[in-house]
Amino acid sequence: MRHQSALHQWPAVAAIGLALLLGACAGGPSLRGEGPRHVASAPHGLSPACLDGDARMTRAQLFFGLSRPDGRPPVTDAEFDGFVDQTVSPAFPDGFTIIETTGGWRDTETGQTIREAGRSLILLADGPAPVLRQRLDTLRRDYMIRFDQQAVGLALDTACVSF
């Protein structure tokens, strides 16, 4: 019984740990010695009130599943790294972050909820929204075709950023 309650607390513990980790990363001094770095976002539908010196940018997070249909072996680290090197890096040379994930989604063909390993890619970008969206959709489409995926998730929001 004790094991089950600890298991149920895992998502909350993981979320708190991630928040602390991100808070520690965002609060440290910048590489240029300009004081603390700042990354903030606003509640859904609102633009954040950026501090002086912050830039308003779009934060994109993509969700890539690693499982393949019909019991075929999952996408390997080497295959995912190849996708990053050939597709992501040329499209977003200014940088991005990749996080190993475990997620769940509803299979559109069977209706079952599937849990699988994945990767989440986070990037910050400025410029016209339609151009950014086209670049992101190209990444998503390439991954879906290359690795036989039903979908690649995308979340967009606005963030205040300084480095």
The strand pair at 153-162 and 38-41 is best described as: antiparallel
Residue pair 156/58 in contact by the 8 Å Cβ criterion: yes
Are 58 and 136 in a shared domain? yes
Number of folded domains that form the chain: 2
Are 48 and 77 in a shared domain? yes
Give the pair of three-digit tokens for residue 146: 């290359």
Name, of 11-15, 51-55, 69-73, 138-142, the range with top average pLDDT: 138-142
Are 56 and 125 in a shared domain? yes
State the residue range of the domain holding 29: 1-36
Are 26 and 62 in a shared domain? no
For the chain, give the mean pLDDT.
78
Are 126 and 138 in a shared domain? yes
Q: Please report the pLDDT score of residue 23 as a whole number.
A: 37
Q: Please report the pLDDT score of residue 17 as a whole number.
A: 37
Are 24 and 42 in a shared domain? no
Q: Is the dihedral of CA 104, 132, 91, 99 positive or negative?
A: negative
| Res. 141 pLDDT band, cuts 50 70 90 | very high
Task: Give per-residue pLDDT as tens, 56-93.
Answer: 999 999 999 999 888 899 999 999 999 999 999 999 99
User: 3-class DSSP state for residue 126?
Assistant: coil
Are 73 and 114 in a shared domain? yes
- Where does 1-152 show beta strands of DSSP type E? 38-41, 55-65, 97-106, 113-125
